[in-house]
Structure 1
Amino acid sequence: MTSIKIRRYEDDDEEEVKEIFTLGMSEHVPTSFVHLLKQPPTQMLLVCVFCALLTSSKSLLLPILAVTLLLAAGRQLVSYMFSSYIQVSLHRDLNNIRQTYLEQPNSFFWVAESQGRVVGTVACLPAEHHADCLELKRMSVRRSHRGLGIAKTLCRTVADFTRERGFPAVVLYTSVVQTDAQKLYEHMGYTKVREFLVPEFFAKICNFTLFEYRLDLQPSDK
């Protein structure tokens, strides 16, 4: 098995960390597009446009073309959502990891290293909406190194850090399309406590839901 080392983030890791995050988020575009297509309003729109154009034009080509264009527009909408989120995340904290995570109390950023290469990341900081909790952030593992237990080790690292600092729980947020992440967190003992729509307009159109998970810690946990 490949040797994996979990260590503190260093400034030289910045570009690899950004790459892992960007690639990881971009992977969810196809799944999110399928999620959009499964929504009843989307299906209704496509059917209505197809039927209306078929009735009015008496031609099959025009409604097929129109539906194709709508599908392409939907795919672009989903891509735009994720591109915007990536840019906001880079601006908010990933362009200045040291200041955000390493120079603030009860915050930290770890990387998983294999053969001198960063293959995974995770961070934590005080939860914005839960004063007694730390929030797990920026969990991502390169596709080439998944299935090796890296994500589980990173989860445990955050839990240990949280416990050592006397906080009773870890919280995190993941999305409806990140099914593998949901399974991982539930396997690690997290409980889903809330779900809500992303407030942005385009996300509401897509019915893009976020899940809040919580892991309650005990001093004796190992």
Structure 2
Amino acid sequence: MANIQIRKYQDEDAESVKEIFTLGMSEHVPSSFVHLLKQPLTQMVLMCVFCALMTSSKSFLLPVLAVTFLLAGARQLVVHMFKKYIETSLRKDLDKITETYIQQKDSCFWVAESDGRVVGTVACLPNQDVPECLELKRMSVRHSHRGMGIAKALCQTVADFTRERGYAAVVLYTSVVQTDAQKLYERMGYQRIREFVVPELVAKLTNFTLYEYRLELQQQK
């Protein structure tokens, strides 16, 4: 991790942080589209449309065009879901990081800086559902700086902060399509303790699952 510094967020980091988050989330659109195509409901709809049009029109071109149109629409649906999530996240906390994290008790936001450029982010705050835990949030590293141990160092920063504040564990949530993140957390000692489908209707229809992970700090040396 040569030339990498992890420090607390400053107001001048705002645009870089939002850029890293937006780019990082947008990277999951292709894998989310593939996840959607693997769902039985999606496959059934595509097959029914194809067979129905093939039977009624006696043409091969029409059902192919219809399925192509449906696939394009499905991809746009995935893009819309991620755009909506990004907009919600910006409005909820990333447009007011100092207020949400820096000024609140037992909360913090860090950036990883390389040669004066912000290349990674992570944050934590008290988990509303599990009072004895802090929740790791907004973990993201620029694609150009991955594989350098930055994400691991950011995870460790949160664990150290949580331990110093006297909390028992760190919890976090990640999605079914974020496989690299899952591998990282599991290497860091996190245990998957729960999985659930996002409550929104579109997420239910696409079986978009979230995983809850927990790191027990008393087991760390």
2:200 matches 1:197: no
Report the counterpart of residue 13 of structure 1 in structure 2: 13
Cα separation, 2, equivalents of 1:70 and 1:78: 12
Q: In the alignment, what sits opposite 1:70?
A: 70
Q: Which whole-Å deviations, capped at 9, do the CAs of 1:8-65 have from their partners, x for residues lacking one?
A: 1000000000000000000000000000000011001101100110000000110001
Task: Give CA deviations for 1:144-186 in whole Å, capped at 9, x if unaligned.
Answer: 0000000000000000000000001000000000000000000
- CA positional deviation for 1:128: 1.6
In 2, distance between residues paired with 1:146 and 1:2?
13
Gaps of at least 5 residues in structure 2 are none
Quote the residue 1:150 is aligned against: 150
Letter of the structure 1 residue corresponding to residue 78 of structure 2: V
Equivalence for 1:211: 211
2:143 partner letter = R
Instruction: Determine the C-alpha separation between the residues in 1 that align with 2:175 and 2:57.
Output: 41
Query: Which consecutive segments of 4 or more residues in structure 1 shift more than 2 A?
Result: none
Q: CA deviation at 1:88?
A: 0.4
Give a deviation string over 1:105-147, Cα, whole Å, max 9, x none: 0000000000000000000000021011000000000000000
Structure 2 Cα separation of the partners of residues 8 and 48 of structure 1: 54
- The equivalent residue for 1:138 is 138
User: How far apart in 1 are the matches of 2:160 and 2:20?
Assistant: 24
- Residue 103 of structure 1: aligned partner: 103
Measure, in 2, the Cα distance between the counterparts of 1:104 and 1:120.
21
CA–CA separation in structure 2 for the residues paired with 1:218 and 1:74: 45
Partner secondary structure for residue 77 of structure 1: helix
Corresponding residue pairs, total = 221
Distance 1:129 1:139 in 2: 20
Asked if 1:34 is matched to 2:61, the reply is: no
Calculate the aligned-residue CA RMSD, in Å.
0.9
Show the counterpart of 1:48.
48
Q: Which residue of 2 aligns with 1:23?
A: 23
Matched residues in 2 for 1:78 and 1:2: separation? 37
How many Å apart are 1:91 and its aligned residue?
Answer: 0.4
Same amino acid, percent of matched pairs: 72
Structure 1: where are the runs of 5+ without partners?
A: none
Quote the offset at 1:3 in angstroms: 1.3
Relative to the length of structure 1, the TM-score reads 0.98
Match of 1:58 in 2: 58
